[in-house]
Structure 1
Amino acid sequence: MTFEPISARPTTASRAPRRRRRAWAVLTSAAATAVLVGAAAPAPAMPAPHPASARRSGVSSLPELNAQALQQAISSAPSRVTGVLARVRGPAGHWTGTYGVADTTTRQPVPVDGRFRLGSVTKTFIATVMLRLSAEHRVDLDQPVQHYLPGTLPADYPPIPVRTLLNFTSSLPELTADDLPSTPGAIVQHRFDDHPLSELVAKAVRHDRPFKEPGSMQVYGATGYYVATMLVEKITGHSYEEEITRRILRPLHLRDTTAPETDPTIPGPHAHGYLAVPQPGGGSELADVTEQNPGAGGMISTTADLDRFLTALFRGRLLAPAQMKELLTVPDKPYLGGTRNDPGHGRAYYGAGLMRVTLPASDGRQGITVWGKTGSTYGYTDGMFTTPDLRRRLTYCFNPITGGGNDIALVNQILTAAYAPPQVKR
């Protein structure tokens, strides 16, 4: 089906939140969450603001912001998405655009201040909390996971340093389609099922590890962040939601960002998420999956709040210089199964919670390097990217109907339009 672009205006809030038993579903692109809730503790002191190390490296000259290219990019997948929202901010240009509808029944437009599920963008928040704990000397990134979480991994595993959990070099295996519901119909039916974090890790480690030596290769996955979240829980005695809230959300006044523990709804204005479910007689119908477990990748935010978070991160408001360096250090290792077409051209391209992407320039020169993170959960795909100097920052969300994976083609089109658009003729 095709949806025509509609200008955006805020929609009214959805149904009032209701509480339900803690739910878990796993998405290979979603970050881990935790279930233990401890007593709230005072928020740790924030590091003194400082210029992030990446900002000193500079960037190539940014092309002029091309609003037409951006609008064309977010409108380029009418058969695969129901709605799109994108926002560009920074000294090098401002732009906000929407496409499609927030609700396929009412045809309400996509709200420019709409909230959405973050999926694996949650990993950047988890990594930030872990690095804060490292700065507080509560966790040693060189120590093996087994030192902190005995019995969590099989006894025959080699020592797996905590650092490797964050930069995707741990060698931990991933869940497969056989471990949990994976077909559209089953996903819709079981999206509130309860799967504790320990169960997800236990299922994952039944599979073969992708490579033998931890730290020797990089490959993206979720299991390392499931274990990292368990480690946050063990060290602090609090749920990951509480740690993120008191260490990041409250200090930065991210009032439209939440880390729900049990509520399956999205509060405030938002676009609905859908999943195309094949029908016995042929064709497919869209199932509304807006309400789903808030477990895997369960954070909710807005493009404005993600922009504020990314800005604070690169200005050094959340991490001290040593931890910021850790966040942005990309291991000099091969990427498992990588090709020349990957962001790393066959080599690693993730740091500890952020990815590094160099986009080709339209004139063939050295392209713009950006740092950021993508995320996806059923009905929602989003991302945040910035130049190291924060001159141009992009945040976006779209509502894919094809499942929980990133629509790489659409993500690339949005990124290219923001950072490497065709030259504007005058």
Structure 2
Amino acid sequence: MTSKSSLVHRKAAAPAPRPRVRTWAVLSCATAAAVVMGAAAPAPAAPAAHPAAAVHRADDPLPELNPQALQQAIAGAPNRVTGVLARVSGPAGHWTGTYGVADTTTQQPVPVDGRFRLGSVTKTFIATVVLQLTAEHRVDLDQPVQRYLPDLLPADYPPIPVRTLLNFTSSLPELTADDLPSTPDAVVEHRFDDHPLSELVAKAVRHPRPFTEPGHMQVYGATGYYVAAMLVEKVTGHSYEREIARRILCPLHLRQTTAPETDPTIPGLHAHGYISVPQPDGGSKLVDITEQNPRAGGMISTTADLDVFLRALFRGRLLAPAQMKELLTVPDVDYVNGGKDDPGQGKAYYSAGLIRATIPGRDGRPGVTVWGKTGSTYGYTDGMFTTPDLRRRLAYSFNPVTGGGNDMALVNQILRAAFA
């Protein structure tokens, strides 16, 4: 499987003086619930599970789980990563493995239950919240986002339906390398600064749109989800991180998952993130960038919590049947500059915050279709995938030293080992 980069553009700025660390935006479920007391809308209750609507019985034949292949897969990029963690769950097999070290100084091993930054996996949580708001009749997917955020986009833009934000067909442009620090030394220097989502959108819309008619093509990007997060904040009156906490993290008891707003730390056990910075002598050195501003796509979780989230999502515990259908609908449009090496082979392959892909089988065996999401930020790359019937689920994280963006060679290696 191949995929476009899932990088969520980082908010960057100089660390001198280093900002005082703020408390977590979501300290606990009690904190999240207290904030909404007296609000116009009560804290939502998770809908009852709708397995008939949410879980599709897959005909894909799953091979027997191969622990040796999985261990070889996570150890397959020793020069590009410092540590790897992977977990396979489900009735078709269980396995957990690690590789490398959590800290290059102490040489401590990667903790099996360690936390990591989610990057663009945060998009799946945002999509879920938006779909919950549609079930509450507070957001209409067919209405233009300009109805909810009238002053955000340029006046000459066409109507951008909310649905197109979620399924990557909005036609909104993306930030470029010139908009934010992107070289290794600049990333290190500017990793603590905070740019509001509105500022990121304002920078992005200075660039040409990738196509003219919203909904007619698909291309992966972050700008649509910046806007979707702002939509959540406008409709609810709370930060999107707080809405994720009260609507998803608290009902599912995801105690190892947090949605910080500006706190740069990772609490609890975790592998450190590093970036390789070129040196004047032609060499390079690893710089610890574990602490960084988390605002855009900065959720933190574990493989165990991601597994719980996947099970709840695909069992219909978070979304009613109509919203589950929306979640799993891949638009029938072309992918911008798509080709035979893409999961969609030239056609769209993203739904509302999820990727649909087929992992090719070996030795002439049929491929296995999976749904999930990849994510990446500086020092961390991760993902979660499942067969539609939840027979086999995968969650992984690794620590690349090459900067932002998914190392798709290693991602593909882990996916093939888990599902093929």
Would you call these one fold, judging by a TM-score over 0.5? yes
Inter-partner Cα distance in structure 2 for 1:174 and 1:71:
36
Inter-partner Cα distance in structure 2 for 1:50 and 1:346:
33
Structure-to-structure mapping, 1:12-411, within 5 angstroms: 19-20=20-21, 39-41=35-37, 42-51=42-51, 53=53, 55-411=55-411
Q: State the 1:212 CA deviation.
A: 0.3
Residues 38 and 239 of structure 1 are in contact (CA less than 8 Å); yes or no, is this contact kept in structure 2? no
Q: State the 1:22 CA deviation.
A: 10
Residues 85 and 110 of structure 2 are in contact (CA less than 8 Å); yes or no, is this contact kept in structure 1? yes
Paired letter, 1:160: I
- Residue equivalent to 2:13: none
Cα RMSD, aligned residues only? 1.6
Q: State the 1:283 CA deviation.
A: 1.2
Percent of paired sites with the same residue: 81
After TM superposition, the runs of 4+ consecutive aligned structure 1 residues lying more than 3 A away are none
Number of positions where the alignment pairs a residue of Structure 1 with one of Structure 2: 390
Q: State the 1:55 CA deviation.
A: 2.5
Residues 273 and 399 of structure 2 are in contact (CA less than 8 Å); yes or no, is this contact kept in structure 1? yes
Q: State the 1:93 CA deviation.
A: 0.3
SS at match of 1:39: helix
**Post-superposition CA distance 1:144-202 (Å, at most 9, x none):** 01111001000000000000000000000000000010100000000011211111000
Q: Return closer, same or farther for 1:157/1:411 CA change in 2, 3 Å cut-off.
A: same
**Post-superposition CA distance 1:246-274 (Å, at most 9, x none):** 00001000000000122110000000000
Residues 38 and 237 of structure 1 are in contact (CA less than 8 Å); yes or no, is this contact kept in structure 2? no
Paired letter, 2:372: G
Q: State the 1:59 CA deviation.
A: 3.1
Residues 121 and 375 of structure 1 are in contact (CA less than 8 Å); yes or no, is this contact kept in structure 2? yes
Inter-partner Cα distance in structure 1 for 2:349 and 2:62:
22
Q: Return closer, same or farther for 1:243/1:329 CA change in 2, 3 Å cut-off.
A: same
Residues 259 and 299 of structure 2 are in contact (CA less than 8 Å); yes or no, is this contact kept in structure 1? yes
Q: State the 1:54 CA deviation.
A: 5.5
Q: Return closer, same or farther for 1:337/1:54 CA change in 2, 3 Å cut-off.
A: farther
Q: State the 1:366 CA deviation.
A: 2.3
Inter-partner Cα distance in structure 2 for 1:72 and 1:84:
11
- Runs of 5+ unmatched residues, structure 1: 1-17, 24-36, 421-426
Bigger Cα displacement from structure 2, 58-67 vs 393-402? 58-67
SS at match of 1:56: coil
Q: State the 1:57 CA deviation.
A: 4.4
**Post-superposition CA distance 1:355-409 (Å, at most 9, x none):** 1010111022320000000000000000000000000000000000001100000
- Residue equivalent to 1:7: none
Q: State the 1:229 CA deviation.
A: 0.4
Residues 233 and 239 of structure 2 are in contact (CA less than 8 Å); yes or no, is this contact kept in structure 1? yes
**Post-superposition CA distance 1:20-77 (Å, at most 9, x none):** 3699xxxxxxxxxxxxx99324420211111163522423111000000000000000
Inter-partner Cα distance in structure 1 for 2:137 and 2:364:
46
Residues 372 and 385 of structure 1 are in contact (CA less than 8 Å); yes or no, is this contact kept in structure 2? yes
Name the TM-score, length of structure 2 as normaliser.
0.91
Paired letter, 2:36: A
Paired letter, 2:382: D
SS at match of 2:55: helix
Inter-partner Cα distance in structure 1 for 2:141 and 2:20:
37
Bigger Cα displacement from structure 2, 187-196 vs 122-131? 187-196
- Runs of 5+ unmatched residues, structure 2: 1-18, 25-32
Q: State the 1:210 CA deviation.
A: 0.3
- Residue equivalent to 1:5: none
**Post-superposition CA distance 1:219-243 (Å, at most 9, x none):** 0000000000000000000011110
Inter-partner Cα distance in structure 1 for 2:326 and 2:160:
17
SS at match of 2:335: coil
Name the TM-score, length of structure 1 as normaliser.
0.90
- Residue equivalent to 1:3: none
Inter-partner Cα distance in structure 1 for 2:36 and 2:52:
30
Residues 59 and 389 of structure 1 are in contact (CA less than 8 Å); yes or no, is this contact kept in structure 2? no
Residues 54 and 321 of structure 2 are in contact (CA less than 8 Å); yes or no, is this contact kept in structure 1? no
Q: Return closer, same or farther for 1:123/1:270 CA change in 2, 3 Å cut-off.
A: same
Residues 116 and 302 of structure 1 are in contact (CA less than 8 Å); yes or no, is this contact kept in structure 2? yes
